[in-house]
Amino acid sequence: MSETILAAEPTIRLAAFLSVLVTMALWEVAAPRRRRDIPRVIRWTNNVALVVLDTVILRLTFPIVAVGLAVLAEERGWGLFNNIEAPFWVAIVVSMLLLDLAIYLQHVMFHAVPALWRLHRMHHADLDFDATTGLRFHPVEILISMGIKLAVVAALGPPAVAVLLFEVILNATALFNHANIDLPRPVDQVVRLFVVTPDMHRVHHSTEPRETNSNFGFNIPWWDRLLGTYVAQPAKGHKAMEIGLGQFRTRRDLWLDRMLVQPLSGPARGGALDTSTTKDPLE
Ligand SMILES: [Zn+2]
Ligand SMILES: [Zn+2]
């Protein structure tokens, strides 16, 4: 079964990715949440070019990706679930939950460590918020994330199908929760109990540092609520809030070449441990 999963992986991932992306793009046209500030052609061209570049760099750098490592771990008996007797469905559910927690913690770390924030802030520098924002990650961040994910898979020994499911779902939810779509408020209230919604994740893309450093979940919303990083709504409201970072605000900053050098330009302001941007409540 593992070999079948491994052989089908690229097709499953690409088909899921393209169908969710097209669905979100159509939904954004039919029911947009916010008015666009930037012409779609600039952002879409550069954000999609970045995904292609990220994918090529990732494939050239890593001889094996997460699903492949899960298959190898199964064969060699590496990791927790390859060494204990657990029902298959328990292994799948627990593996998916722990992988999601790892991604959440990694996201918090990328906001807290100044050098990592320089890489991750490129995701936040997008001046509009739509499905392609969910694809905007610096190639070096992608490589570090893959390293962390491989370490988690090696330690956990999850079923290969759990890793594949996790990655396909995460990819789909990232497109969904960055989409500029208008979910009716009562629907949002229910959906965000189970999965991060666009209104929940948009708070994370606010220029207000307190809001930037909240709502770190990409998939399951529970970690933010459990661990105290949940902010329900942006202070200025979804229509009036400012998207992006204070630092990179020109249209030229949205081009691929500028995105790639952003980690090196200017100070590492606005990260979770940067006290210069938060006012002392006693003052
Ligand atoms: Zn972030
Ligand atoms: Zn985001």
Ligand nearest to the CA of 111: 1
pLDDT given at position 283: 43
Q: Give distance in angstroms: CA of 94 to centre of ligand 1.
A: 25
Closest CA to 68 of 127, 132, 182, 154: 154
Q: Give distance in angstroms: CA of 215 to centre of ligand 2.
A: 9
7 — pLDDT class (breaks 50, 70, 90): confident
pLDDT given at position 277: 63
With contact defined as beta carbons under 8 Å apart, do 200 and 192 qualify?
Answer: yes
Ligand nearest to the CA of 179: 2
Q: Give distance in angstroms: CA of 123 to centre of ligand 2.
A: 6
Report which secondary-structure segment, H or E, holds 122: helix 114-124
Which residues fall within 8 angstroms of residue 265, CB to CB, at 6 or more apart?
A: none
pLDDT given at position 282: 54
Q: What is the mean pLDDT of the chain?
A: 94
97 — pLDDT class (breaks 50, 70, 90): very high
Q: Give distance in angstroms: CA of 201 to centre of ligand 2.
A: 6
For residue 264, is pLDDT > 90?
Answer: yes
How buried is 82 (Cβ within 10 angstroms: 0-12 exposed, 13-18 middle, 19+ buried)? middle
For 271-283, write each residue's pLDDT tens digit.
Answer: 888 877 655 445 4
- Averaged pLDDT for residues 106-116: 96
For residue 251, is pLDDT > 80?
Answer: yes
- Averaged pLDDT for residues 220-247: 96
Q: Give distance in angstroms: CA of 107 to centre of ligand 1.
A: 6
Q: Give distance in angstroms: CA of 157 to centre of ligand 2.
A: 28
pLDDT given at position 278: 56
Q: What is the domain partition of the chain in residue ranges?
A: 2-264
For 152-204, write each residue's pLDDT tens digit.
Answer: 999 999 999 999 999 999 999 999 999 999 999 999 999 999 999 999 999 99
Residue 131: DSSP 8-state: G
Which residues fall within 8 angstroms of residue 103, CB to CB, at 6 or more apart?
A: 145, 149, 170, 218, 219
Report percent pLDDT > 90 for the chain: 87
83 — pLDDT class (breaks 50, 70, 90): very high
- Averaged pLDDT for residues 216-233: 97
Q: Give distance in angstroms: CA of 115 to centre of ligand 2.
A: 18
Q: What is the DSSP string of 190-259?
A: HHTTTS--HHHHHHHTBSSHHHHTS---SS-SHHHHHHT----S-TT-TTTSPBS-SS--SGGGGSHHHH
